[in-house]
Amino acid sequence: MSTHAYSRCWLHLIWGTHRREGTFDPKNAAKVSAFLTDYAKQNSIYMKINFANTDHVHALVDLPTGMTIEQVVKLFKGASSHWINEQDLVAGKFAWGRGYGAFSVSQSGVDEVCAYIAGQAGHHRTKSFAEEYERFVKVYGLEWHDEETVETVSPQSTRPTPLVKTRGQ
CB-based contacts of 107, cutoff 8 Å, min separation 6: 8, 10
Specify the pTM: 0.79
Tell me the per-residue pLDDT of 106-144, one tens digit each, with 9 for 90 and over.
999 999 999 999 988 776 667 777 777 777 777 777 777
> Could you tell me if 80 and 95 are in contact, meaning their C-beta atoms sit under 8 angstroms apart?
no
Tell me the per-residue pLDDT of 51-109, one tens digit each, with 9 for 90 and over.
998 889 999 999 999 999 999 999 999 999 999 999 999 888 999 988 898 999 999 99
Q: Which amino acid is at 152?
A: T
Q: Which of 55, 58, 57, 56 has its CA nearest to residue 22?
A: 55
Q: Which domains does the chain have, with CATH numbers?
A: 10-150 (3.30.70.1290)
